Each structure stands twice: as C-alpha cells, then as structure tokens.
Structure 1
Amino acid sequence: MSRRLLHITEEETAAVVDEDLALQAAREAFAATVDGAVFPGLAVHGSDPKNRFTLKPSASATHAGVKIGSYWPGNPEQGLPRHHSTLLLLDQTIGRIAAVLEVGKANAYRTAAADALAVDLLARPDATTLAVFGTGHQAAYEVRAVSRVRPVAEVLVVGRDEDRAARMAADLAAEGRTAMVTGAEEACARADVIVTATNATADAPPLFQAAWVRPGTHISCMGADAPGKRELDPELFSVARVFCDLPEQARRMGESQHAPDKTVLTPLGEVLTGRVSGRTDDADITVFDSSGIGLQDLCLGLALLEKLDMTL
C-alpha cells in the first residue's frame, strides 16, 4: 500500500511554534514519563568528531519516532546555524517513516520549555530575578520561556565573551526586558532562578561556585547533554535537591554524570503528577538536570502537526 510521506519544512514549523505550545507539549511529555516507556538518548559524532548529533527515540500508546539533533560548529562559516533538529515519525501500521519534520527553531522552544516547566514546579513563587549563563543560540529562548511561568523583572546575563554578553543584554532590552551584564558571583548572589545554557566541559572550571548560590535558588541546567560536558560545581550535589528528566540518562550524559552515586535523582514527571514533592522549603536549593528526552520531541511534533492542521 502506497502512503504519502509528509514533509514539514523548517519554515512551516518555525511559523507556528511559540512558548505556550512548547510548554503544553512539555507538560504532556513529562506527565507521560511516569507510567509510559521512556528511552534514553544516544550521543554520537559525525565523520569529523567535532560534529556531534544525538538520537532521541520515543513511543506513546499511539505514536513513535526519533529526533536527530545535530551540532555542526563550523556551520556559521556557511551562513547556517550550528544547531538543527529533524523529527521522524513512524507509521504505526507498517513501520515506515510517515512524516519528517524539520524542527530546528522549534527544538529551541522545546528545550527552553522543559527548563521553564522545572522553574514552574520548583522555583519559589515570588522569584523575579533570573540569571542566565550563556550567550549563544539557546540563551534568549530560555529567558522568554522562564518569563512565561514567573514574573521576571530583571535578567542578569553572564558570558565569558563580554561583547556577546553585552549584545544579548541589549537584545533583551529591545524586547522590553530589564537586562544587564554581571559577573558570575554577583549573578548568583542576586538570582532567584539560574539557567545555564552553555557548551562547557568538565576540563574547564564550573560556571560558578556552589558557595555563591544563595538558599532558595532554583537552577535549570541544560548544557550537559553528552559525556564529558559539565556546567555546575559538583559541590552543588551535596547541598541541593536534584531533579531530572530520566535518571538513567542523566547519570550517563547529563549534569548528574558528575554526581556522587548516593545522590537522589527525582524525575520531574513525578513532581508534575503530584507523586512526590518538589520544593518543600523556601530555603531549598533545587537543580533540574535537563539532558532531553524523546517524549518531548514526540509531543511537540504532534502539537505542531495539529497546529498546521495535518494528521498522519
């Protein structure tokens, strides 16, 4: 039987994705992690080891697929972004590809939505000051997503390149936000919420010291999504309550690959569905280790198809 293969272009998905769609898809995905199948991702590299990509498989009761997320650092020389993502959805009756969705921009919304969901579930209700570490592709998406779940009044931008940090602060100010560049220690001293969105690795110093983080802070970290990557001071694991998308994956390729074996990793989906408590005290330091799961991509892809009035 011949079936039509859907091809949804980058331009089509980018035109309909927004923070609300991505956040709702994240809620559905993390709720599904509690009783459904969750498969760990795989981080590999291209023929040139500096070019990396991840495979994120997923399945629900009705759909299944895999997201391929690529990072080609030399792309700007060709006028292309470093990051791109492609979602493949399977025809559940015959096992062939039913749809190909290009979701480069949508993936940035998807990643930020998971971090914002963690902020919504774990940060203090009165959190208004956001510190963002990183000035690259993902950072501004994180600011906008967190601003959907907390009344962010001030954004503190921390970057190792001062010029890029200044440009990002100016861009956020142009959106009507109060944004300024600060150092890492000052940002930690003032922030209610910290988001880390960098490519930092374990052979470099952490982005900030655990001792700088004040009681009551929530941290969503998304940069560690492959073995050898690290953003946080390992000492944070001794003072913080740690949440993640999938414990098995977080210990292998997330920030928690650097955590002591005794560290308790609580799936965020269990907080979302009320099975465990999130923040229990205003003084809690909470960390969300976001390495990304395929269910996020599946739920986002299906939401995009619905928004585009398309069905498999």
Structure 2
Amino acid sequence: MEQKALIIGEETVRKYLSAEDVIDICEKTWRWYGEGNVVMPNKITTDMSGLGVDGWFNSMPAYIAPLDAAGLKLVGGYNGNRALGLPFIKANVILTDPRTGVLQALVSGDYINDMRTGAQPAIMTRLLAASTDVVCFIGTGLMAYYSLLCMSKTVDIREVRLCDVSEEAKDRFIARFPDAPFRFVKCATNEEGCRGADVIITVTNANADLVEEPWVKEGGLVMTMGSFRETSFDVVRKADKIATDQVGQSLHRGNVKELAEMGEIDENSFDIVIPDVLAGKAVARTNPKHRIYAQIIGTGMLDVACAGLLLQKIKESGEQFFRFDMTK
C-alpha cells in the first residue's frame, strides 16, 4: 500500500480555503456533532514550563464521519516566539487515514486556526443576536479581525465600536477594512463601547471585568472568546439565556470556569448549545428582549474539518503537489 503524505503550507491553505468555505464547514461540523456524527475526545494540554520550556500546547483529536476525516490539531502558545518574529500561537493539523492510520497530510494550521476562530462568532451572531446594527469589539487584535471579517459575511452591520488599550491597535484594525460597508467608532472606554451595542465581543488575553452587567442593553448579546474571565460574573448571572458551543469544555474556561468552581453553574445551566440548535434538537433565541451570554470555546474538530475539506479540494483540483514517501 502506498504511504505518501502531503505537506501543505500556508500559501496553499489560503489559496484553497476562503472565509466562506470555513464558515460553511464549521457550521456543518457543529451540526454533525449535534447529530452524533463526530467523535471528539477532550483536548489534552501539555504545559512544558515546569521543565524549563516557556510554552504549552494542546492536542485536539477528532473524527468527522461525513468528511471521513480523522486527525489531530496541535496548537500552542510559545512565549519566545515574538523575539523570533513568529506569532505567539502556532498551530498544525495532522490528517491520517481513519482505517489504516497512514499519514495523509501535515497541514500548516495558523490560517485555519485564525479563520475558524472568526467563523464561530459569525455563526453564533446570526443564530443568537436580536439585532446586529451595532457591534462592539473589546480587543482589536488578529482574532478580532477574523471575527469581523467572517461576521461581515453572515450578518448586516451598521457600526463597529472598538475598545482597546492601544490606540495604534485600533488604527491597524480599521486599516484592515479599507472598503468596509460599516462605520468605525474608536471608544475611549469599554462602557462607551458597550452601552447601546447589540452585540459585544471580547477577544483578549485579559483576566478582568471588561464588561459590566449594567452596560448590556435589553436584547443584547455578549460573547466572550478569551481563556480567562472577561466580564463581571453578573453578566452571566443575570443573562436570560446562557449559550456555548461545547458544554464540557466551557466549564473549565473563562467566566464559566470560576462560576462552576463556586458551584453556581453546572452542565445543566446552558440553555443554548449551538450544535444542538443546528441539528434541530433545540432552539436559539426565543425572545428579542432576552439578554444572552455566550462563551465560545473553539474545538479541534473544526480545524480537522477544515483540513479535511482542504484535502478534498486539492485532490479535486488536479494540481500536482509533492508527496513525501513515508516508507523512506
């Protein structure tokens, strides 16, 4: 049996996977997961700092039956990268034949990680927001850019408010959207950005109360994407509905982690689970006046699905790629 594998770099990934492709496959994968057609064990974190390596990485395996794609996402944070001109977060995806274990492809996962991160709030906003006229971003880095890029393809936005400790970061963010159909407003404070916003999204590394409950309007949607606490606990406590993309992992991250440790939230506290909504097993927003809090986790199955779709598109293209012989 032939044992040849593709090595797929960033340029090729970008060539074959558009934002629309990633949004579509992420939504399908969530639906397939809700239908029971995805196997996805919990991720494993390897923290190397105790042995003198200033970094960590997550191992995130999945099998997506409708794509017949099996693989593993490896993504980590490496504190020495910036000094080397590399991003803090680096990702790769490994695809194997689900029946033999033979390596099919090693895929550079940075673009996939970034774009699928942006696809998540784009899909969730469409499902959960009562209105999307005014969107407030707290944090204006790369993940916020991909989030707005994808959201612009799923919902109509009139105004984007930007909150960040760095004015330069806000300016760089705006410069990425030279032909934006919405207007940008740079806000001096988080409160200024949040009050009256239809959608509030936090995309930071902070561990602080960036959003206070009184700032959230009736019918507002608050989505947090960071690993640590990004809002006051009352944003969660006083929400009419709590949503997530994956219950088990939500209990161990962000705002929900601390509330779970205090015994205030458990697996039964989530009113809306996105894969169940897309599978037709549950409903999303039921009342335009409800305030909804959503914690976005991000799971490895999305990256494996993106890589699986990429491999399909490359094969269908007929373009010739070097295949590494794994027997030599």
Structure 1-normalised TM-score? 0.90
Q: How far 1:84 moved relative to its partner? A: 2.0
Q: Structure 1 residues 46 and 14, CA, compared in 2 at 3 Å: closer, same or farther?
A: farther
Aligned partners of 2:21, 2:249: CA distance in 1, in Å? 25
CA contact (8 A) 1:133 1:198 kept: yes
Q: How far 1:245 moved relative to its partner? A: 1.8
SS in 2 for 1:98: strand
CA contact (8 A) 1:172 1:178 kept: no
Structure with higher Rg: it is 2
Residue in 2 that maps onto 1:272 = 278
1:96 paired residue among 84, 99, 102: 102
Aligned partners of 1:87, 1:45: CA distance in 2, in Å? 19
Residue in 2 that maps onto 1:38 = 40
Q: Structure 1 residues 50 and 223, CA, compared in 2 at 3 Å: closer, same or farther?
A: farther
Residue in 2 that maps onto 1:289 = 295
Aligned partners of 1:74, 1:157: CA distance in 2, in Å? 29
Aligned partners of 1:55, 1:219: CA distance in 2, in Å? 28
Is 1:166 the equivalent of 2:171?
A: yes
How do 1:118-267 and structure 2 match up within 5 A? 118-124=124-130, 126-173=131-178, 175=180, 177-182=182-187, 183-201=189-207, 205-224=208-227, 229-240=228-239, 241-259=241-259, 260-262=264-266, 264-265=269-270, 266-267=272-273
Aligned partners of 1:81, 1:281: CA distance in 2, in Å? 41
Give the letter for the 1:44 counterpart: T
Give the letter for the 1:142 counterpart: S
Q: Structure 1 residues 173 and 158, CA, compared in 2 at 3 Å: closer, same or farther?
A: farther
Structure 2-normalised TM-score? 0.86
Q: Structure 1 residues 144 and 184, CA, compared in 2 at 3 Å: closer, same or farther?
A: same
Aligned partners of 1:78, 1:189: CA distance in 2, in Å? 40
- Can you give the 5+ residue segments of structure 2 that lack an aligned partner in the other structure? 318-322, 324-328
1:13-55 CA-to-partner distances (Å, cap 9, x unmatched) read: 0223222111111111111221233322223333556423222
Is 1:51 the equivalent of 2:55?
A: yes
How do 1:14-33 and structure 2 match up within 5 A? 14-33=14-33
- Can you give the 5+ residue segments of structure 1 that lack an aligned partner in the other structure? none
SS in 1 for 2:152: helix
- Aligned-residue sequence identity (percent) comes to 24
CA contact (8 A) 1:66 1:294 kept: yes
SS in 2 for 1:219: strand
Aligned partners of 2:310, 2:254: CA distance in 1, in Å? 27
CA contact (8 A) 2:277 2:283 kept: yes
Computed over aligned residues only, the root mean square deviation of the Cα atoms, in angstroms, reads: 2.2
Residue in 1 that maps onto 2:326 = none
How do 1:77-92 and structure 2 match up within 5 A? 77-92=83-98
User: Which piece of structure 1 moves more, 39-48 or 101-110?
Assistant: 39-48
Aligned partners of 2:125, 2:247: CA distance in 1, in Å? 19
SS in 2 for 1:5: strand
CA contact (8 A) 1:169 1:180 kept: no
Give the letter for the 1:231 counterpart: E
Q: How far 1:254 moved relative to its partner? A: 4.5
Q: How far 1:123 moved relative to its partner? A: 0.7
Q: How far 1:310 moved relative to its partner? A: 5.8
Aligned partners of 2:88, 2:142: CA distance in 1, in Å? 8
SS in 1 for 2:21: helix
Give the letter for the 1:60 counterpart: I
Aligned partners of 2:311, 2:102: CA distance in 1, in Å? 18
Q: How far 1:65 moved relative to its partner? A: 1.0
Q: Structure 1 residues 167 and 98, CA, compared in 2 at 3 Å: closer, same or farther?
A: closer
Give the letter for the 1:58 counterpart: A
Give the letter for the 1:166 counterpart: D
Give the letter for the 1:140 counterpart: Y
Give the letter for the 1:179 counterpart: F
